[in-house]
Structure 1
Amino acid sequence: MYPSSQPMPQHATGDSAHHFTTPSEWSTGLFDCDNDYYNCCLTCWCPCITFGQIAEVVDKGTTSCIAHGAIYSLLCLFTGGCQCIYACMQRSKLRQQYMLPEQPCNDCLTHCFCEMCAICQEYRELQYRGLDPSLGWDGNISRQNQGVVMPPINPGEMKR
Structure 2
Amino acid sequence: MYPTAPDHEKYAGHDHDHHVPGHEVPALSPHGVARVYAPPYVVSTGHSARHVGGEWSTGLCHCCDDPPNCMITCFCPCITFGQIAEIVDQGSSSCAQQGTCYGILLATTVLACLYSCFYRSKLRGQYDLEESPCVDCLVHFCCPGCALCQEYRELKSRGFDMGIGWEANLDRQRRGVTQAPVAPGMIR
Query: TM-score, normalization: structure 1?
Result: 0.79
Residue of structure 2 aligned with 1:17, choices 17, 22, 37: 37
User: Within 5 Å, which residues of 2 pair with 1:20-99?
Assistant: 20=40, 23-79=53-109, 81-99=110-128
Amino acid at match of 2:158: R
Aligned to 2:16: none
Once superposed, which parts of structure 1, at least 4 consecutive aligned residues long, lie more than 4 Å away? none
User: Any unmatched runs of 5+ in structure 2?
Assistant: 1-24, 27-35, 41-50, 178-188
**C-alpha deviations, 1:9-66, integer Å up to 9, x for none?**
xxxxx85734547623100000001110000000000000010000000000001111
**C-alpha deviations, 1:100-134, integer Å up to 9, x for none?**
00000000000000000000000000011111222
Contact 2:38 2:127 (C-alpha < 8 Å) held by counterparts = no
**C-alpha deviations, 1:70-110, integer Å up to 9, x for none?**
1101101111x210000000000000000000000000000
Amino acid at match of 1:144: Q
Do structure 1's residue 113 and structure 2's residue 142 form an aligned pair?
A: yes
- Whole-angstrom CA distance in 2 between matches of 1:26 and 1:96: 12
Q: How many residues align?
A: 134
Report which of the two structures shows the higher radius of gyration computed on alpha carbons: 1
Amino acid at match of 2:166: W
Greater RCO between the two (CA within 8 Å, min separation 6)?
1
Query: TM-score, normalization: structure 2?
Result: 0.67
- Whole-angstrom CA distance in 1 between matches of 2:163 and 2:52: 27
Amino acid at match of 1:110: V
- Whole-angstrom CA distance in 1 between matches of 2:38 and 2:107: 35
User: Any unmatched runs of 5+ in structure 1?
Assistant: 1-13, 149-160
Q: Which has the higher helix share?
A: 1
- Whole-angstrom CA distance in 1 between matches of 2:56 and 2:84: 15
Give the superposition deviation at 1:68: 0.3
Amino acid at match of 2:124: R
SS at match of 2:120: helix
- Whole-angstrom CA distance in 1 between matches of 2:62 and 2:140: 15
Q: Which has the higher strand share?
A: 2
